[in-house]
A and B are shown apart, each in its own frame.
Chain A
């Protein structure tokens, strides 16, 4: 505890870096995965291709992707872009499957009713399909958020900032307290992100808590994303 108090400034700095490095891939991955998921849901040809590509991308080990990024992007090894691009690819790979399921779960009848009362494709997407897919999308996003926050620590192996630095530094100095601080900090960030996402979900999707079907879909989506 004394060590933590004495080094509060450094720990806080690493925490801020960690948060910044995680937020970009989480938001970027989500924003890119939703339209891709919709495409996979809409056309059976793109479904096979997109889901296979995402499956393959997800198979590439994270550390391998991080260290191969400088070669692919032409960046320096210490450039944070390597980590951010890698984690965004992971977020997309994981999220596209969930997004496809989310749009699949929107009742065909409801979508057709929307068309029948005069909704065009664009308006139907924003006002009917996207909100109804919301609970499942949120469930997937929560899994993505947790795993991204945890994966950011791997960046420390290639000299990136973030709480992972406490792991490599603590290991080299043979100092368990420092590592423990990093673990607790990482889990705390993950928990806070998760709570924020749940809160945002309650504000944007107030019906999801009362709708039993939506709750069931969200739960099975979470299980599926964990098992994926």
Chain B
């Protein structure tokens, strides 16, 4: 445990709070890669997920594809892209962002299409019978109801990207991974631990913020249902066939989006 004290002392040292290898710079770099990646990945995966969820097309393929993407080892893809193309080393940001986007797509896609799928089909039918266009149904009915699950997908994508952006330091990029990658060969285990602690802290803070956002995005209507029917009852009745259409499991999912 003494090692942890040394690591905390290192972090508390004012000398490590400025300059190109200072903590603020490294944190900013780390957040920069994460933000850029998640932005690109959201544009690709959430759009695709909304389409799949709304139309029900390509669902089987997308489940298979997201599973396959997860099998790709990040470090392998990163090092391969870095040296297989001429620009890889000079512009280390490009292979890094590609790899992190690939990593972020599965949770985003899964969150988006399972979110749309979790909307009660009767609600969608009701919206359609009121004369809403498909576009209106998507944006005014399905997306608001699916928002907690979509944000849930963004949350886990952010966490995975923050965790993995550490590896970017291996192909000479900055970020908090620098502390770990630089210190390992010279056996400076205090600095390695500092890197590990800071990345963990960053992940926990982002997780907290995103959980808060997820809570806030639950539509008022859904929140009212939840207060009326306590969580426990809805979970127990998961498999009781209450509705002829759709699955009661989907309804239960609506009540517990944070899981």
Contact = CB atoms under 8 A, between A and B. Distances in A.
B214 interface: no
Nearest to A154: B75
Given A146-B71, A174-B83, A227-B110, A68 B76 contact: no
A67 B192 CA distance: 7
A63 B74 contact: no
B174 interface: no
B249 A216 contact: yes
Contacts of B3: 71
A59 B82 contact: no
A202 B178 CA distance: 46
Interface stretch (B11-19, B124-132, B159-167): B159-167
A97 to B, nearest CB: 7
B163 A171 contact: no
A97 B238 CA distance: 17
B63 A157 contact: no
A150 B71 contact: yes
A171 B83 contact: yes
Interface in B61-99: 63, 66-68, 70-77, 79-80, 82-84
Contacts, number: 176
B180 interface: yes
B50 to A, nearest CB: 15
A70 B77 CA distance: 27
Given A67-B196, A171-B83, A226 B72 contact: no
Residue from B73, B181, B189 with most neighbouring chain A CB atoms (10 Å):
B73
B204 interface: yes
B110 A108 contact: no
B200 A107 contact: no
A61 B236 contact: no
Interface residues of B, number: 62
A186 B71 contact: yes
B240 to A, nearest CB: 8
Given A63-B166, A64-B197, A154-B167, A179 B180 contact: no
Given A176-B84, A187-B72, A228-B156, A44 B232 contact: yes
A182 to B, nearest CB: 5
Interface in B142-171: 149, 152-153, 156, 159, 162-164, 166-167, 170-171
Interface in B35-73: 63, 66-68, 70-73
5 contacts: A61-B163, A105-B238, A167-B76, A186-B71, A220-B249
Interface of B: 3-4, 63, 66-68, 70-77, 79-80, 82-84, 106-107, 110-111, 113-114, 149, 152-153, 156, 159, 162-164, 166-167, 170-171, 177, 180-181, 184, 187, 189, 192-193, 195-197, 199-200, 203-204, 207, 232, 235-236, 238-239, 247, 249, 253, 259
Interface of A: 44, 56, 58-65, 67-68, 70-71, 77, 97, 101, 104-105, 107-108, 142-143, 146-147, 149-150, 153-154, 156-158, 163-164, 166-168, 170-171, 174-176, 179-180, 182-183, 186-187, 190-191, 194, 213, 216-217, 219-220, 222-224, 226-228
